[in-house]
């Protein structure tokens, strides 16, 4: 074995070991920081976590104090920073790769309609094929045909107002699970906090819209 090859293999071995432990520790620390931010935002009376693959992310279940909510489910999916070739691949090909979070607010009372606000660049799987479709600005909207025109317009305006400058790429209100769903990518903790606050604000204004429509 030549000296240069030995040096190269030694360097590669140290790099692989370093990248795994560095990425693993970074993901664990990030996941813990995110869980603290979520608990500070939701102020739950009970929590439970299931860690996914060690450092891939977690699934969290929060029992809130809010009288309208049954529970809050969070799915966190982190970039595979512990992968031995992650930093090299991201540098060369995937600089836009980001962490991802899904938040589901489960309601106690039934929701009678379905509504989606989706950023135009995103194409999630929508199982209900009977929804009406609409477009405005950089959003695609799908909604139940029986949804009142006034409530639909109010939801559309609220979605554009709150989500336009956010990272939230999919908002869904679905009756089968009585849930409001948010999905977004984020770059850092400040980015995460801003979008979490937007989801809470939408939830509050959505409840106000429902009360007005029922009155």
The pLDDT of residue 85 is: 65
For the stretch 6-57, pLDDT in tens is 676 666 667 666 667 777 888 889 999 999 999 999 999 999 999 887 688 9
3-state secondary structure of 106: strand
Q: What is the mean pLDDT of the chain?
A: 87
DSSP H helices in the chain: 3-42, 86-92, 149-163, 189-214
Distance from C-alpha of 48 to C-alpha of 88, rounded to nearest angstrom: 35
Query: Quick check: 79 and 68 in contact, CB under 8 A?
Result: no
Sign of the dihedral through C-alpha 36, 37, 42, 43: positive
106 has a pLDDT exceeding 90: yes
Query: Model confidence over 107-133: pLDDT tens digits?
Result: 999 999 999 999 999 999 999 999 999
Residue 173 has a CB neighbour count (10 Å cut-off) of 22
| pLDDT > 70: percent of the chain | 85
Rounded Cα distance between 60 and 42, Å, is 12
**Interval 155-187: pLDDT, tens:** 999 999 999 989 999 999 999 999 999 999 998
CA distances from 181 to 38, 81, 106 (A): 16, 27, 9
Report the pLDDT value the prediction gives residue 137, as an integer from 0 to 100.
85
């Amino acid at each position: 074995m030549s000296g240069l090859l030995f040096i190269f293999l030694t360097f590669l071995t140290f790099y692989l070991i370093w990248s795994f432990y560095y990425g693993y520790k970074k993901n664990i620390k990030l996941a813990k920081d995110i869980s603290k931010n979520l608990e500070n935002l939701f102020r739950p009376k009970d929590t439970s976590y299931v860690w996914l693959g060690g450092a891939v992310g977690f699934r969290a279940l929060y029992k809130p104090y809010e009288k309208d909510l049954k529970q809050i489910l969070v799915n966190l999916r982190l970039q595979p920073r512990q992968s031995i070739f992650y930093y090299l691949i991201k540098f060369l090909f995937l600089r836009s790769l980001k962490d991802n979070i899904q938040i589901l607010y489960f309601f106690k009372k039934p929701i009678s309609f379905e509504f989606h606000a989706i950023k135009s660049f995103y194409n999630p799987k929508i199982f209900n094929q009977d929804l009406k479709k609409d477009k405005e600005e950089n959003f695609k909207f799908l909604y139940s045909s029986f949804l009142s025109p006034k409530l639909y317009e109010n939801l559309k305006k609220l979605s554009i107002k709150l989500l336009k400058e956010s990272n939230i790429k999919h908002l869904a209100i679905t009756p089968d699970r009585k849930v409001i769903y948010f999905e977004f990518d984020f770059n850092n903790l400040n980015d995460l906090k801003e979008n979490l606050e937007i989801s809470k604000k939408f939830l509050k204004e959505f409840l106000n819209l429902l009360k007005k429509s029922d009155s």
